[in-house]
Each structure stands twice: as C-alpha cells, then as structure tokens.
C-alpha cells in the first residue's frame, strides 16, 4: 500500500496507520511517504529519459536530511539556495559537482564557499554578481562555472508571490541584457560561462509559459554560440505544480512533452530543479482538534494544535490544502473554518470547509504538505517546531525530533 491513502476508512502512509504514528510521536507532526517521493522523482526522470538531463532537487521545498539523502540515493543532484542549503547538501552526501547554487542575494561569503567547493554551477543573478564571482575566483586562482539566470518577462500564471519570471520581479537578468553581459564577461579569467538558467515560478499548472520561456533560453543559447560563447547546458528551473484540490494538472509526461521539443536538437544538456512536484503529495501534517467554538450568529471554528507556525502556505499565499479526519468520521455534516492556535486571525488553515463535525481530540490531516511546509515553520509564540517522520518499507522513523523549549532557549543569553 503506497502513498497517503484511506485503507479501511482510515488514512495510512505507505500502509502504516497515521493514527498509530501520531499516538507514538504526538502532534503537530509531519509524516512523509518514501514511496511517493521515489515514484514522483522517477516519473520526471523517466519522462525526460530520451534527452541528456540532470534533475537537481530543489532543497528549498524540503531539506530535512533524510529526505535529501533519499533523493540523492535515487540519483538526484541538488539545487541549493543559500550557504546553509549547500551545507545540508554536503551533509546529505551530495558532492560539489552535484550541486547548483541559485539565489537572488548571494553574499560574498556564500559565493566564496561555492567557489572553494567547486560546485557544478553558480546561477548568477546580475552583472554585479558576475563581477564579484570573477574577483573571488581570480583571487583564488581558479575559474568558477557560472550560468546566467535570465528573466524572460513571462507570466507563469501562478500566485503572484511565487511568480519570478516577470520584469517586475527581482529575479534574473532581462533577456535583452544577457547577450551584452556575456560578451563583456566572456574573457574574464575567473569565469567560465557554461549555461543559461531560468525559473519563472512555482506551482505552475499551465505549461505554455514554461515552453515559451524555454524557447527564449534556447534561442539565446544559439545566439551566444554565434558570438563564440559555447555553453553546455540550459537549466529550466523547477515549478511543475501539483493538484491541491483534486482538479486535473499536467503530469510529468505532459511536462516533458512541453519542454523536450524545445531543447531537442539544440545539443544542450538539460537541467531541471523540481521541488514541490516531488515532495508535496508525499507529506501530510497531522494535528489534533483542541477546541470547537461556535461564535453566536457567526462561524463554527475547529481549532487545531497546528497553525501558521507549522504550515504558513494558506496564510502566505491563500493556498488551499485538503483537510480531512484521519479516522472515518460519521458526525453530522457541517461547514467550518479550520484554524490554528496562534494570536493572529489570519492563522487559518482552511475556510468554509464542509466536513463531518469533528470532536475535541480528533486527529486531522492536512494533505499535500510535504513541500514548503516544515521548511517554512517558525517559532512564533514560542512554539517548538514539529517532529518529522519518514515512512519507508513499512517502518515509520523520526527523521527530525520535535524541538523543545530548551532547544529554543539554548541560543539565548
């Protein structure tokens, strides 16, 4: 029994009852299905099998060491977005040549770290950053492999907060400027321009903008070739969305069918940086009902022991996550707001949700929470971060223990 599904009425993860895991480890709790991560990684890898490619898993989606290690064991590389993520990648066993380093505001320290390690590529965000990389590399008498991140000014048609490919966004270099910058930078002793990079947004469910951006990047690669700057790869970033509400979304095969015709024939190696698509459906956030409150003439609130500190996506992006009782429920149907315990009215995980009326102590599951969930958790209201469990081959293993107040205070004078 693989993935997160109902077995005999109750939700299970790779065959293990979620209620058993919650009884043992407490709530709030993240639980991940290894089989889902494996099958989703392989689906993308196989869809692109006809073209030379590498998948650099975007650590930002979920960088818990055991998750990163699992992806490495499948043959993934890593996409790191900070010095911290580079460290995590190394500790997860990735070698520097398997790491690409992206990020809109890399510090001198982070660039030096990446150059000293000799990461596969630094995806550079601006001419100024290229200057800084060149200076750091020359000082070390080495050459840094760089790709230029371009901003194609294409709307990814996702949520504005996770769209990154418009010229009103802070990311990348405008298409019209890339060729000139490459010509100016090509002779620099500290730089080896090896690629072009883009990432136009996350939770993309319309593949047309991605295909148009890919065409722009491949065209630019050809023009650079004409200028005598031979690059070896294009990195089309991540972004493939998932279905949070059950509506149809493009599959890995659709994704490949949209992108492969654009890169095939270019002779360029293809790099992708998928995150959400691999890990989001593999994760569930478990939480217990701590109170039920009916405001007279107002709403019915189901108050959980998890909120925006464990999963900020609903508050940050108005994101929708299905919320279901873990055990088959038979109470009368009702409509409620599912909220967290924090001192913020926006601490809401789901609004106007029809569901059987839960009771205090019931275990609830927030689905598709494996990406941008635990990694975005915070300690607001002095709430310790939740534990994380990975279920693999029928065994549920704690991969990150629950934080304690002592852990939190250990940093303080």
Reported residue count of the chain is 413
The span of 105-113, 173-181, 238-246, 281-289 binding ligand PLP (CB under 6 A) equals 238-246
CB 114 within 8 Å of CB 172: no
User: Which letter does DSSP use for residue 107 in this model?
Assistant: -
The nearest distance, CB 279 to ligand PLP, in angstroms, is 8
128-187 positions binding ligand PLP, by CB under 6 A? none
- Contacts with ligand PLP: how many residues (CB under 6 A)? 17
Q: Which is nearer to ligand PLP, 241 or 325 (CB)?
A: 241
CB 221 within 8 Å of CB 235: no
CB 353 within 8 Å of CB 337: yes
The span of 271-279, 301-309, 339-347, 360-368 binding ligand PLP (CB under 6 A) equals 271-279
CA 345 to centroid of chain Cα atoms:
27
Q: Is 386 in the site for ligand PLP (CB under 6 A)?
A: no
Backbone angles phi, psi at 263, to 5 degrees: -95, -25
| Residues with active-site annotation | 343
CA separation, residue 196 to residues 45, 255, 268, 272 (Å): 21, 20, 10, 12
Going through 358-409 in order, the beta strands assigned E by DSSP cover 363-366, 387-392, 395-400
Q: Is 60 in the site for ligand PLP (CB under 6 A)?
A: yes
Q: Which is nearer to ligand PLP, 161 or 401 (CB)?
A: 161
SS3 (DSSP) at 54: strand
Q: Which is nearer to ligand PLP, 152 or 274 (CB)?
A: 274
CA distance 11 to 5: 5
Q: Which is nearer to ligand PLP, 35 or 123 (CB)?
A: 123
Residue nearest to ligand PLP (CB): 238
Site map 88..127 versus ligand PLP, x via CB under 6 A: --------------x-------------------------
Q: Which is nearer to ligand PLP, 275 or 307 (CB)?
A: 275
Q: Is 237 in the site for ligand PLP (CB under 6 A)?
A: yes
The span of 54-62, 345-353, 354-362, 382-390 binding ligand PLP (CB under 6 A) equals 54-62
The span of 9-17, 246-254, 269-277, 355-363 binding ligand PLP (CB under 6 A) equals 269-277
275-314 positions binding ligand PLP, by CB under 6 A? 275-277
Q: Is 199 in the site for ligand PLP (CB under 6 A)?
A: yes
CA separation, residue 48 to residues 20, 45, 174, 318, 382 (Å): 38, 6, 28, 32, 45
Q: CA torsion sign, 182 to 185 to 191 to 192? A: positive
Q: Is 77 in the site for ligand PLP (CB under 6 A)?
A: no
CB 363 within 8 Å of CB 374: no
Q: How many helices (H) and strands (E) does the chain have?
A: 12, 21
The span of 85-93, 173-181, 223-231, 274-282 binding ligand PLP (CB under 6 A) equals 274-282
CA distance 304 to 298: 19
Q: Is 53 in the site for ligand PLP (CB under 6 A)?
A: no
Backbone angles phi, psi at 29, to 5 degrees: -150, 130
Q: Which helix (H) or strand (E) holds 128?
A: helix 127-139
Q: Is 238 in the site for ligand PLP (CB under 6 A)?
A: yes
Identify the residue among 202, 287, 309, 392 touching ligand PLP (CB under 6 A).
Answer: 202
Q: Which helix (H) or strand (E) holds 293?
A: strand 283-294
* List of residues contacting ligand PLP (CB under 6 A): 58, 60-61, 79, 102, 199, 202, 237-240, 273-277, 371
């Amino acid at each position: 029994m693989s993935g997160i599904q109902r077995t005999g009425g109750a939700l299970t993860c790779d065959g293990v009852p979620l209620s058993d895991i919650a009884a043992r480890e407490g709530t709030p709790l993240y639980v991940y299905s290894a089989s889902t991560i494996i099958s989703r990684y392989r689906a993308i890898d196989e869809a692109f099998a006809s073209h030379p490619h590498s998948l650099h898993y975007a650590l930002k989606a979920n960088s818990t060491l055991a998750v990163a290690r699992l992806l490495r064991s499948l043959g993934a590389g890593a996409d790191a977005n900070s010095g911290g993520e580079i460290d995590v990648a190394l500790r997860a066993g990735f070698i520097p040549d398997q790491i690409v380093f992206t990020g809109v505001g890399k510090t001198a320290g982070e660039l030096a770290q990446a150059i000293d390690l000799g990461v596969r590529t630094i995806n550079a965000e601006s001419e100024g950053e290229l200057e800084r990389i060149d200076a750091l590399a020359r000082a070390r008498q080495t050459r840094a492999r760089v790709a230029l991140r371009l901003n194609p000014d294409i709307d990814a048609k996702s949520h504005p907060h996770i769209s990154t490919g418009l010229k009103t966004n802070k990311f990348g270099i405008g298409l019209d400027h890339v060729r000139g910058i490459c010509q100016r930078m090509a002779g620099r002793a500290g730089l080896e321009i090896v690629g072009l990079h883009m990432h136009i947004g996350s939770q993309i469910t319309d593949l047309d903008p991605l295909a148009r951006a890919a065409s722009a990047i491949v065209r630019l690669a050809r023009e650079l070739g004409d200028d005598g700057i031979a690059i070896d790869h294009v990195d089309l970033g991540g972004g493939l969305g998932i279905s949070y509400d059950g509506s149809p979304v493009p599959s890995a095969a659709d994704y490949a069918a949209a992108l492969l015709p654009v890169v095939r024939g270019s002779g360029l190696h293809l790099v992708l940086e998928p995150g959400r698509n691999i890990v989001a459906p593999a994760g569930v956030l478990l939480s217990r009902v701590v109170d039920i409150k009916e405001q007279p003439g107002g709403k019915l609130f189901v108050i959980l022991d998890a909120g925006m500190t464990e999963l900020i996506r609903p508050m940050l992006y108005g994101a929708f996550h299905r919320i279901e009782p873990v055990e088959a429920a038979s109470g009368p149907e009702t409509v409620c707001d599912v909220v967290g315990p924090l001192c913020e009215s926006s601490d809401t995980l789901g609004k106007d949700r029809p569901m059987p009326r839960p009771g205090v102590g019931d275990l609830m599951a927030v689905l598709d929470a494996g990406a941008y969930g635990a990694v975005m958790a915070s300690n607001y209201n002095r709430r310790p971060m939740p534990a994380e469990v990975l279920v693999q081959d029928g065994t549920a293993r704690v991969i990150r223990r629950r934080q304690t107040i002592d852990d939190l205070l250990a940093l303080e004078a």
